[in-house]
Structure 1
Amino acid sequence: MEESNNYGHQHPLLLLKEHLISNQNGVVALCSRCGDKVSSPSFGCAEECGFYLHKVCAEAPSELNHPFHRDHPLVMKDLAYYKSRFWHCKFCGKHGDKLIYNCSCGLAFHIKCAVFTFNMAQTNFKELEHVPLADPLVYVGNEDKEVDEVAMCFACREPLEKYSYFSPDCGFNLHKKCAELPLRMSHRCHRKHPLVLQFNSERFLCVICRTGQQGGLFYGCSPCGLFIHIECLSPSRNIEDKSHSHPFTLFWRQGTFICDACGTSGNHVAYVCVTCDIMVHRECILLPRVIKSKWHDHRLSHTYFLYREYVKTLNCIICHEEVNAEHGNYSCSKCNDIFHVNCATEDEDSYVIIENEDEEPLDISVNSMIVLEWNDVGEAIVVQHFNHIHSLRLGDKASEYDNKCCDGCLLPISTSFYYCSQCELYLHKVCAELPKVKHVWHHRCQKPLVLTSNKGFRCVKCGHTSNAFSYKCEECNGYTCLRCVIALTPGARTCPGHKHNPLFFYKDYIGQCNACGEDDKGMFRCKDCDICLDVECFSLPITVQDKCDEHLLSLADHDDNNYSESRFCDICEGSRDPNLWFYHCEHCDTSAEVQCVLGKFPFVKVGSIFEEEQQHEHPLTFVKRTYYYPNCKYCDKPCLDFAFECTKPGCNYIVHASCPP
C-alpha cells in the first residue's frame, strides 16, 4: 500500500490493492463520493475512520468538458443541491445519493458514469484495463441485482448476450463494440453534416425506428434535429413478413414519404415492396393483419387502401379526424367503421392480435332481453329482460312519467323506454338493449365487463355512488355505471343540453368543462363551437323535480336574465357563476346550481342495500335521517342526512354516506 494526498479528507489516505475492500466490521465498504461498493484501485483512510474513495472518483475533476455533451460543462456538485428534486443518471438510468456531475441544462450523471464515458470518447482504454473483457456466453453480475439490470448495454440499451462486453465491478454493462464507437461518423441517411455521439438525455425520436428511449448514447445532428439509435445505424437490408406475400427491401431516402401501411409521414429510411408498389416504415412491416379492439365490437382488418364506397364515414372512431383511405388503415367489414392505424394500436392494452384469422370470432355480446312481440314497423314492443321476472312493454308517452327514473341509469324517463305493468320498473330503451357482457376501451383489464343490477357500488369512472345497473369487472371488481358506459361508447354522441350536435369524446384532451368549470382530461367537444364537457356533466339529467319549485326544472347552459349583476341560487341563496350550467324553471323564474338540485347522492335510492366491499360485516341500507341523529362510527359526528345503516336488528352501526363504510 502507498500513501496519497487526502483529497479533502482530514486523514491521510492509502492506495489499497485488494480486489474487494471491507471495513473494520467486515462489511463491503462504500465510496464516499459515488456511494457504490469499493473495489481496487481505491483509497482508504489510514486512520480507518471508514472513509473510502474509488481512484477514479478521487481523481475526477471538479469540471468536465465532455465530448458527449458539448453545449455546457459538467460541474461536480453535492446531491444536497438536488435534495428536493427527483433525478436519475442520464447515462445508466440509475439513481444515486452522493456527488454528481450536473449541467446547467438539467442533466445529471454519476461521477463514474461521466468519467467512464469521457475515457470512452478519448479512447483512454488504459483507464479501463481493470475491466475484464467477458465471454458473451458467461453471465456476469451480482446476485443481488435483477437479471434485467445486468442484461442491457448502457450505451445502446440492447441485450448483452449477443456480443462480448465490458462488465466492471463498478456496475457498467457495455458491449465491446459500443466501447469502441467513433466520436463522429458519416451516414448515408444524413449527408449534410457528420453525426456526433452524444448522451441520449431526452426522448428524441430515432429517424430509423421512430421510437424514443431515454438514457444511453445515440448519434445525432443537433442543428438539423436528427437522431439515430446506435442499434439502428445498420438496419436490415431485407425483411419478410408472413402476412405479406413479398419481401420488403431497404430504401434510403433524403426526403419524406407517406407510409402506405399507417398513412403517416416518414423520412430517411423506408422499406419498399417493388411487386406491390408500396412504401412503408420499418416498424409498419410487422403490423398485425387482424386485431380485436376494445373500441369496437367486431374484428378490425388492416388494409393498404380502401375503396370509399366501403365505408360510411372516413372519420376515425377514436380521434374523429379524417382517415385517408388511400393509405393504410384498420376497418370493420360489418359496420364499415374505420380507424387510423396509430390510433388503433397506440395502446397495447386496448387490443389483441388475432393469430388464427379463419377461426370464427367468439360473440360475447349476449343480448340482455328477448323480444316477445313486434309492432308493424319492426319495433320490439314486448320484451323479457334477464333481470326482471315480468315482461316489459314499450312506453309511448314519456311525459306521463315525469316523476319516474330509469332503473338502469337512474336518469329521468325522457326518451323511449320499457316499463313493467305489474311493478314499478322502468328502463330506457338504450339501457334495456345493452348486452350482458361488454368490452369497454376505458377499462384497463383484459376481461370483459358483466352487466349487474341492484348492487350498491361506486363508479370507477365518474366516482358517483349508485345502486342502479352497472358493469362489473370480474378481474378487479370495479364497477362502471351505465351513464358512463353509454356516454363513452365510441362514435358521435347527442347531448340534449347543447344546441349543436353531435359531440365527440377526445380521450387525451385537457380543458375546462363549460358546465362545472373544473379542469379535466378526457372531454366531449363540439366541432362547431368551443364547448367542452367532462363525462359527468355530459350525463346530467335534462329535467329534474325539486321541492324548491312545483314545476320541472330544465338544464340551462346560459343565463339571459339581467335582473341583477350577480346571479343567485334559489336553494342555497348564495351567488352562482352565470357562466356555468344551472337548472331553471321558465314559469317561476327559479334558478339553482346543479350541485344544489342534485345533491351529493343523486343516483342512489333511499332504502337500497349495499352488500359488497364494505368494512362492516353485515349489509348496509342507504337511509336519510330525519330524526334521532346517532353519531357516525367513523367520524363520531351526528348523522344528519344521508347515511349507511346496518340492516341487522340490534346492530347500531351507522356511518355518513360520505365517510368510508
Structure 2
Amino acid sequence: MEESNNYGHRHPLVLLKENRLIRHRFESRCNRCESHVSAPCFSCAEGCRFYLHKVCAEAPLELSHPFHPPHPLLLLMEYRSFDLSGSNHCNYCGGTCWGFIYRCSCHLRLHIRCALFTFNIAQNSFKELEDPSIPTKDEDKCFRCWEPLANYTYFFLDGGFGLHKKCTDEIPLKMNHKCHRKHPLTLQFNNQGFLCAICQIDSPTGFFYGCSPCGLFIHIGCSSLPRNIKDKTHPHPFTLLLRRVPFICDACGTSGSHAAYSCGPCDIIIHKKCISLPRVIKSKWHDHRLSHTYFLHREYVGILDCIICHEEVNAEHGSYSCSKCNDMFHVDCVTKDEDTYVIVENEDEEEEYANSLIVLEWNDSGEAIVVEHFKHVHPLRLGDSVSEHENKCCHGCFLPISTSFYYCSQCEFYLHKICAELPKVKHVWHHRCPQPLVLTSNEGFVCVKCDYISNAFSYKCEKCYKYTCLRCVVALTPGARTCLGHKHKPLLFYTDYKGKCNACGEDDIEGMFRCKDCDICLDVKCFSLPITIQNKCDEHLLSLTEHEDNSYSESHFCDICEESRDPNLWFYHCRRCDSSAHVKCVLRKYSFIKVRSILDVEVHKHPLTFVKRAYYYPNCSGCGEPCLDYAFECTEPGCNYIHHALCP
C-alpha cells in the first residue's frame, strides 16, 4: 500500500490496489463520482470511510475533450436534484449527474469516469479502459456494433457503455460520408439533442459522427449502411439511395433529408427504420387489428384525423388503418410506445372479439331489441321510453337511465346500450400491463382514474388487480365526445397536453379533453361527471350545470355544505327548487356503490358491508368519531369493526 496526498481530506490516504483490501466495498461510494468504490482507489488511513477512485482523484480540473472541441470541460460540483426533464443527465451514459462532474458552458454534462473513458478512446489508450472486475449483463451491448458484449473480449465502464476490443479499430475519429459531402464528420457528443439524419431517432446519450456547423448528426451504427435490404414484409428488396434533398417517407409520412431506401417496382422511398415496419398490429388504442399501407384511396378513408394526436393523416403516404371502422393512425403515433402494441405474426388467423351480448331478436331496421348479456340470467329488452323507468339506474355505471337502454322484464336490471355492448375483455391505452382488462361485476373497487368507490361493472387487470369503472373506460376510448353545453366540435383527448380544467379549476393537469376551436379544457374526472344524478338534498334529479341562468343573488352558495361557491366552476342544479350544490358535495366518494353491498378491502381481515347509519352511532375504528352517515361495517359475529366511508 502506498501513501498519497490527501486530495482535500483531513486524514492521510492510502492507495488500495485490490478489492479485497477495501473494508466497506459494497456499502461505500467514491467521494467524487458517487459510484460504488472499487480498486485501485484511495482510502482514509483513519478508517472514516472516505474513498476516491484513483482515476477520479487524478482527474484534471480542466479537460480539452476531442469529442467536444468548442469548449474545455471543467470539473465542478453538481448537487443532487430531482429534475425529470433530463437536463441534469450525463450526455454519454444517460445517468443522473451529481457529485463531481465535467461540465461545459453549453450545458454538456459528463460523469468523471464517462469523460475519461471517452477521452481514452479518442487517444487510443485502450489499456486504461480495462476493468475485469465489472461483470456484464445479458442486455449490455457494444455501442459500436450493438452485439452483446459477452460475445467477444470487451472494455466496459460501470454505468456507461461497453466496447468490443475488435471494434476499437473501426471507429475513426473523422470520416467523409456521402450523405454530407460539404464537411467531414467528426466523432463528438450530441448534447444539443439533434435527430440522426439517417434513422430520424433522437438519442441524447453516447456520441455520434457530426458536423457542428451544419447541425448534422449520425449514429455510429448508421454511418455504414448496407446497399440492399430485403425484408419479409415487402415483396422486393430495397436499394440504398443517398439523397441530399428533402423527401417524404412513403411508409410513415414524415420527412427525411439525407439517406433513403427505394423500391423501384413499387415506386416508393422510405427511411431505413421504416423497412421493418410490421404489416399488421394489434394496438391498445383500438379494438380491431390495424394494417399498414403505403397509400389509401381518399374515398375509402372517411375521417382523415389520427385517432391519437387528432392531426390530419395524409392518405397519399403510409399509415395504419382499420378496415372495419375506417379509423386512421399516424405510423409514429401508434408505434411510439412498444408496450402499447403487438405484431400479428399470423395474419390469416381470425381475429377474436369477446362479445358480451348474444342477440335473440332484431327489428326491421337491424337493431338488436332482445339480447342476452353474460352478466345477467334473463333476456334483456331494448327500452323505448325513459319515463316508464324513471329514477332507475344502469347496473353497469350506476348512472340514471337515459335514452338507449336495455331492461329486464323479470327483475329490475338495467343497462345502458353503450354499457351492454362493451366487450368481455378490452385493451386500453391508459393501462400499462400487457394483458387485456376483464369485465367484472359485483366486486367492490376504487377506480384508478376517478378514485370513486363502486361495485358497479368495471374492467379489472388480472395482473396488478387494478380496476377502471365503465364511465372512465368509455370517456377514454379514442374518438370525439360531446360535452355539456359546448357549441363547437366535440372534445378530443390529448395525452400530452397540460393545463387548467374549466370545470373544477384545478391547474397543471396532464392529459386533457380539448376543443380545437376554443380554449375549453376538461380533465378525465370532470369529463365523466354524470349529466344528471339523484341526491338526498333534493327530491328531483340534479343536472350538471356550467353557468348561472339567473341573477337573483350576487352571492353563490352550496345548498348542501352552505359554503360559498365559485360561479365560474361547474355545479349541480335543480331548476324546480332553484337549488345548487358543489360537485364534490353531490358526488361523494361513495356515490357509485349500493347500500348493503359487500366488499373485500385491505384495511380489514373480513369482508365489509356498506351501510347507512340512521340510528345507533358507533365510533369509527379509524378516527374514533361516531359514524353518523355512510360507513363500512363488518358483519362477522364478534367483530365490531366499523369505518367511515370517507375516513382515510
Q: Which residue in the other structure is 1:521 paired with?
A: 510
Q: CA deviation at 1:630?
A: 2.0
Q: Which residue in the other structure is 1:504 paired with?
A: 492
What's the secondary structure of 1:431's corresponding residue?
Answer: helix
5+ residue gaps, structure 1: 133-139
Evaluate the alpha carbon distance shift between residue 105 and residue 638 of structure 1 in structure 2; reply closer, same or farther with a 3 A threshold: farther
Q: CA deviation at 1:89?
A: 4.0
Q: Which of residues 454, 459, 473 in structure 2 aligns to 1:485?
A: 473
Q: CA deviation at 1:147?
A: 1.3
Q: Which residue in the other structure is 1:495 paired with?
A: 483
Q: Which residue in the other structure is 2:405 paired with?
A: 417
Q: Which residue in the other structure is 1:82 paired with?
A: 79
Q: Is the 8 A contact 1:462 1:536 kept in 2?
A: yes
What's the secondary structure of 1:552's corresponding residue?
Answer: strand
Q: CA deviation at 1:489?
A: 2.2
Alignment partners' CA distance in 2, 1:112 and 1:393 = 72
Alignment partners' CA distance in 1, 2:97 and 2:267 = 53
Write the letter of the residue equivalent to 1:437: V
Write the letter of the residue equivalent to 1:543: T
Q: CA deviation at 1:97?
A: 7.4
Say yes or no: does 1:245 pair with 2:246. no
Q: Which of residues 569, 590, 593 in structure 1 aligns to 2:579?
A: 590
Say yes or no: does 1:329 pair with 2:330. no
Q: CA deviation at 1:539?
A: 2.1
Q: Is the 8 A contact 1:364 1:438 kept in 2?
A: no
Alignment partners' CA distance in 2, 1:621 and 1:52 = 59
Q: Is the 8 A contact 1:91 1:154 kept in 2?
A: no
Alignment partners' CA distance in 1, 2:29 and 2:421 = 67
Write the letter of the residue equivalent to 2:288: H
Q: CA deviation at 1:417?
A: 1.6
Instruction: Tell me whether 274-283 or 651-660 shows the greater mean CA deviation.
Output: 651-660
Say yes or no: does 1:637 pair with 2:635. no
Instruction: Tell me whether 510-519 or 22-31 shows the greater mean CA deviation.
Output: 22-31
Q: CA deviation at 1:158?
A: 6.1
Q: Which residue in the other structure is 1:103 paired with?
A: 104
Q: CA deviation at 1:258?
A: 0.6
Write the letter of the residue equivalent to 1:570: D
Write the letter of the residue equivalent to 1:20: E
Alignment partners' CA distance in 2, 1:26 and 1:405 = 66
**Where do 1:582-661 residues align within 5 Å?**
582-611=571-600, 613-659=601-647
Q: Which residue in the other structure is 2:567 paired with?
A: 578
Q: Which of residues 130, 133, 139 in structure 2 aligns to 1:142?
A: 133
Evaluate the alpha carbon distance shift between residue 275 and residue 633 of structure 1 in structure 2; reply closer, same or farther with a 3 A threshold: same
Alignment partners' CA distance in 1, 2:127 and 2:407 = 84
Alignment partners' CA distance in 1, 2:361 and 2:49 = 89
What's the secondary structure of 1:483's corresponding residue?
Answer: helix
Say yes or no: does 1:339 pair with 2:337. no
Q: Which residue in the other structure is 1:315 paired with?
A: 305
Say yes or no: does 1:113 pair with 2:114. yes
Q: CA deviation at 1:261?
A: 0.5
Alignment partners' CA distance in 1, 2:516 and 2:29 = 62
Instruction: Tell me whether 407-416 or 627-636 shows the greater mean CA deviation.
Output: 627-636
Q: Which residue in the other structure is 1:135 paired with?
A: none
Alignment partners' CA distance in 1, 2:511 and 2:45 = 63
Q: Deviations over 1:564-613 (max 9, x none)?
A: 444222322222122211122334432222122223322112221113x4
Alignment partners' CA distance in 2, 1:466 and 1:499 = 33
Q: Which residue in the other structure is 2:275 paired with?
A: 285
Instruction: Tell me whether 543-552 or 287-296 shows the greater mean CA deviation.
Output: 543-552
What's the secondary structure of 1:643's corresponding residue?
Answer: strand
Write the letter of the residue equivalent to 1:103: C
Evaluate the alpha carbon distance shift between residue 175 and residue 640 of structure 1 in structure 2; reply closer, same or farther with a 3 A threshold: same
Q: Is the 8 A contact 1:11 1:47 kept in 2?
A: yes
Q: Deviations over 1:19-45 (max 9, x none)?
A: 6365486979986655665656x7788
Q: Is the 8 A contact 1:220 1:227 kept in 2?
A: yes
Write the letter of the residue equivalent to 2:18: L
Q: Which of residues 367, 377, 387 in structure 2 aligns to 1:379?
A: 367
Q: Which of residues 431, 435, 441 in structure 1 aligns to 2:423?
A: 435
Q: Is the 8 A contact 1:120 1:179 kept in 2?
A: no
Q: CA deviation at 1:200?
A: 3.6
Write the letter of the residue equivalent to 1:429: K
Q: Is the 8 A contact 1:209 1:282 kept in 2?
A: yes
May I ask how many residue pairs the two structures share in their alignment?
640
Evaluate the alpha carbon distance shift between residue 164 and residue 565 of structure 1 in structure 2; reply closer, same or farther with a 3 A threshold: same
**Where do 1:72-221 residues align within 5 Å?**
72-78=71-77, 81-84=78-81, 89-93=90-94, 99-121=100-122, 123=123, 125=125, 128-129=126-127, 141-142=132-133, 145-148=135-138, 151-153=140-142, 159-160=148-149, 165-167=154-156, 173-176=162-165, 177-178=167-168, 181-201=171-191, 203-221=193-211
Instruction: Tell me whether 303-312 or 434-443 shows the greater mean CA deviation.
Output: 434-443
Instruction: Tell me whether 251-260 or 333-342 shows the greater mean CA deviation.
Output: 333-342
Write the letter of the residue equivalent to 2:119: F
What's the secondary structure of 2:418's corresponding residue?
Answer: helix
Q: CA deviation at 1:213?
A: 2.5
Q: Is the 8 A contact 2:92 2:160 kept in 1?
A: no
Q: Which residue in the other structure is 2:381 paired with?
A: 393
Instruction: Tell me whether 386-395 or 349-358 shows the greater mean CA deviation.
Output: 386-395
Q: Which residue in the other structure is 2:295 paired with?
A: 305
Q: Deviations over 1:351-389 (max 9, x none)?
A: 21111222222x2322x2333343444333333332223
Q: CA deviation at 1:390?
A: 2.9
Say yes or no: does 1:355 pair with 2:345. yes
Instruction: Tell me whether 279-288 or 579-588 shows the greater mean CA deviation.
Output: 579-588
Write the letter of the residue equivalent to 1:69: H
Q: CA deviation at 1:320?
A: 2.4
Alignment partners' CA distance in 2, 1:31 and 1:436 = 55
Q: CA deviation at 1:343?
A: 1.9
Q: Which residue in the other structure is 1:20 paired with?
A: 18
Q: Which residue in the other structure is 2:221 paired with?
A: 231
Identical-residue share of aligned pairs (%):
68
Evaluate the alpha carbon distance shift between residue 161 and residue 565 of structure 1 in structure 2; reply closer, same or farther with a 3 A threshold: same
Q: Is the 8 A contact 1:623 1:643 kept in 2?
A: yes
Evaluate the alpha carbon distance shift between residue 468 and residue 32 of structure 1 in structure 2; reply closer, same or farther with a 3 A threshold: closer
What's the secondary structure of 2:244's corresponding residue?
Answer: strand
What's the secondary structure of 1:334's corresponding residue?
Answer: coil
Q: Which residue in the other structure is 1:136 paired with?
A: none
Alignment partners' CA distance in 1, 2:535 and 2:50 = 75
Alignment partners' CA distance in 2, 1:233 and 1:652 = 73
Q: CA deviation at 1:114?
A: 2.5
Evaluate the alpha carbon distance shift between residue 649 and residue 356 of structure 1 in structure 2; reply closer, same or farther with a 3 A threshold: same
Q: Is the 8 A contact 1:156 1:229 kept in 2?
A: no
Alignment partners' CA distance in 2, 1:273 and 1:395 = 57
Q: Deviations over 1:297-317 (max 9, x none)?
A: 322211111112222322222
Q: Is the 8 A contact 2:308 2:333 kept in 1?
A: yes
Q: Which residue in the other structure is 2:531 paired with?
A: 542
Q: Which residue in the other structure is 1:448 paired with?
A: 436
Q: Is the 8 A contact 2:120 2:129 kept in 1?
A: no
Q: CA deviation at 1:532?
A: 1.8
Evaluate the alpha carbon distance shift between residue 238 and residue 595 of structure 1 in structure 2; reply closer, same or farther with a 3 A threshold: same
Q: Which of residues 528, 532, 536 in structure 1 aligns to 2:521?
A: 532
Q: Which residue in the other structure is 2:354 paired with?
A: 365
Q: CA deviation at 1:12?
A: 7.5
Write the letter of the residue equivalent to 1:399: S
TM-score (norm 1): 0.86
Q: Is the 8 A contact 1:91 1:155 kept in 2?
A: no
Q: Is the 8 A contact 1:130 1:168 kept in 2?
A: no
Alignment partners' CA distance in 2, 1:558 and 1:508 = 28
Q: Which residue in the other structure is 1:65 paired with?
A: 64
Q: Is the 8 A contact 1:166 1:173 kept in 2?
A: yes
Alignment partners' CA distance in 1, 2:158 and 2:599 = 59
Alignment partners' CA distance in 2, 1:110 and 1:67 = 16
Q: Is the 8 A contact 1:315 1:323 kept in 2?
A: yes
